[in-house]
Amino acid sequence: MALLDMAKRSGLYIEAAHINYHKRATAKRDEKIVRDYCRQNGIVFHKRDFDPDTCKGNFQAAARDFRYDQFLKICRKNRLEAVLVAHQLDDLVETYIMQKEKKLGVACYGLAQTNMINGVKVIRPLLKYSKDELEGYCQKKGIEYGIDESNLTDDYTRNRIRHERVSKLSADEKKKIYRETVKLNKENERRFTSAYKKLYGKRMKASAFFKVKYLDYFLRHYFRSRSEANIAEMIRQLKEADHVVLKADEITIVKEYGMIEVFRNEDDYLYTFRDLKALRSRTYPHFRISRKGKGTDAVTFRKDDFPVVIRNAKKSDEIVLRFGTKKLNRFFIDRKIPYADRLIYPVLVNRKGQIILVPELGCDLMHYSQKPDIFVIKL
């Protein structure tokens, strides 16, 4: 509630997202507090419900995945730039102590000011404020807030650390830990940046990949939820296996044909064209439409094809050619097309859902002629 009020007073355009987990009797009270504040201050309010009965594993992990999935959907639908979350100094200290107890090698000590989670940009503006300071802010400004009673028990490791360790620290001791995490994270960032410059967006021989200094810091940065054992296993797989795909929120690492490539993940794309006139010569991010080109990029339309779409290829795609049905995945393998290119490879599909052209492979039987209408050229 302190964060919501501070953001409102800052002049930012904000919308509020509240997740009700229905795990305690006061869940409805908390929802009402947020809803009432938003109504009084003209803030768009999004409420989502999580059914705890659907969770068969770790509740905390399932709840976290659910809320960030909802945050992503809300941000995309409403064109919002990022999510502000109210982690504060006590949370940072708890996290740091947990990391030290478990002797983890981590990408970020404590909590990051900004990072990506499940495709969402997350910003934590309150890391310098203690919980007591934020409660004091709410009391001074007359902001209603609720206390999560589950935090008062020792049911979770974090709660135990909070009560046995963090609650006994003075304000100065907490600030000292904050400064220590800042120092450690600067060194982590330096090492990550060194590896990033040599790895990100690059395709190289596997032998060269493993010679890059601070490779483990690079992997920790993008695979933040993985343990040190997981990171070591990833490196082992990349060294020993012939084909490996490692996907994080922001990047994918692929080993194939003795090469390792690190590339940024891209969203699927789809462009719809209502008629032939709409297919005018133009360049798109991954393909170009032209009136001239090679025969393997050419297509002639039938009247019942429209509307047509050009989209990125899918794993199950196939096309009917003169010599039979060709699976696109087989075409990619035969041509040794890099995995990153396969994910964004353009295909032309008619209104029946049939692939009628794959650039550099050709069109299907029903769409060939000596006078093609257009050429779709892969960039």
Residues 111-117: contacts with CB under 8 Å, at least 24 apart = 111/87, 112/185, 115/224, 116/249, 116/250, 117/68, 117/249
CATH value at residue 29: 3.40.50.620
Is residue 234 scored above 60 in pLDDT? yes
Among 101-110, 131-140, 161-170, 211-220, name the one with the lowest average pLDDT. 101-110
Contacts of 308 (CB under 8 A, 6+ apart): 272, 273, 279, 301, 348, 349, 350, 351, 356
Q: What is the pLDDT averaged over residues 100-119?
A: 83
Is residue 100 scored above 90 in pLDDT? no
In terms of Cα–Cα distance, which of 264, 249, 272 is closest to 201?
Answer: 264
Question: Residue 98: which pLDDT band, with cuts at 50, 70 and 90?
Answer: confident
Q: What is the pLDDT averaged over residues 92-105?
A: 83
Q: What is the Cβ-side half-sphere exposure of residue 368, based on CA atoms within 13 angstroms?
A: 12
Are residues 308 and 189 both part of a single domain? no
Are residues 259 and 274 both part of a single domain? no
Q: Do the beta carbons of residue 279 and residue 273 sit within 8 Å?
A: yes
- Between CA 30 and CA 38, with CA 35 as vertex, the angle to 5 degrees is 130
pLDDT tens readout for residues 24-52: 889 999 999 999 999 999 999 999 999 98
Are residues 228 and 358 both part of a single domain? no
Are residues 17 and 116 both part of a single domain? yes
Answer with the residue of higher pLDDT: 98 or 241.
241
Are residues 332 and 260 both part of a single domain? no
Is residue 159 scored above 90 in pLDDT? no
Q: How far apart are CA 67 and CA 120, in angstroms?
A: 11
Q: Do the beta carbons of residue 117 and residue 52 sit within 8 Å?
A: no
Q: Do the beta carbons of residue 346 and residue 313 sit within 8 Å?
A: yes
Check whether the bond before 307 is cis (ω within 30° of 0). yes
Are residues 13 and 130 both part of a single domain? yes
Structure pTM? Answer: 0.73
Q: Is 36 helix (H, G, I), strand (E, B) or coil?
A: helix
Is residue 54 scored above 60 in pLDDT? yes
Range of the domain at 159: 2-168
Are residues 193 and 274 both part of a single domain? no
Residues 156-161: contacts with CB under 8 Å, at least 24 apart = 156/60, 157/98, 158/94, 158/98, 161/94, 161/97, 161/98, 161/101
Instruction: Quickly tell me which residue has 């206390």 as its tokens.
Output: 147
Q: How far apart are CA 123 and CA 91, in angstroms?
A: 14
Give pLDDT, residue 151: 61
Are residues 232 and 280 both part of a single domain? no
Give pLDDT, residue 39: 97
Which H helix or E strand runs over 99? helix 89-101
* The amino acid at 89: L
pLDDT tens readout for residues 191-217: 999 999 999 999 999 999 999 999 999
Give pLDDT, residue 298: 97
Rg (CA), the chain: 26
Q: Do the beta carbons of residue 121 and residue 250 sit within 8 Å?
A: no
- Residue 217 to residues 100, 103, 111, 115, 228: CA-CA distances in angstroms? 17, 15, 16, 15, 11
Are residues 68 and 26 both part of a single domain? yes
Q: What is the pLDDT averaged over residues 185-191?
A: 94
Give pLDDT, residue 103: 67
Give pLDDT, residue 312: 97
Give pLDDT, residue 150: 67
Is residue 160 scored above 80 in pLDDT? no
Which H helix or E strand runs over 363? strand 362-363
Is residue 152 scored above 60 in pLDDT? no
Residues belonging to the chain: 379
pLDDT tens readout for residues 346-372: 999 999 999 999 999 999 999 999 999
Domain ends where: 232, 264, 296?
Answer: 264
Average confidence score pLDDT of the chain: 92
Domain ends where: 116, 138, 168?
Answer: 168
Give pLDDT, residue 105: 67
Is residue 157 scored above 70 in pLDDT? no
Contacts of 73 (CB under 8 A, 6+ apart): none
Give pLDDT, residue 155: 57
Label the pairing between strands 287-290 and 282-283.
antiparallel
Give pLDDT, residue 345: 97
Instruction: Quickly tell me which residue has 């809300």 as its tokens.
Output: 74
Expressed in angstroms, the distance from the first to the final Cα of the chain is 49
Are residues 280 and 356 both part of a single domain? yes
Answer with the residue of higher pLDDT: 272 or 249.
272
Instruction: Quickly tell me which residue has 């396969």 as its tokens.
Output: 342
Are residues 298 and 339 both part of a single domain? yes
Are residues 71 and 135 both part of a single domain? yes
Q: Do the beta carbons of residue 126 and residue 194 sit within 8 Å?
A: no
Domain ends where: 123, 139, 168?
Answer: 168
- Residue 148 to residues 118, 153, 231, 267, 280: CA-CA distances in angstroms? 25, 10, 35, 37, 59
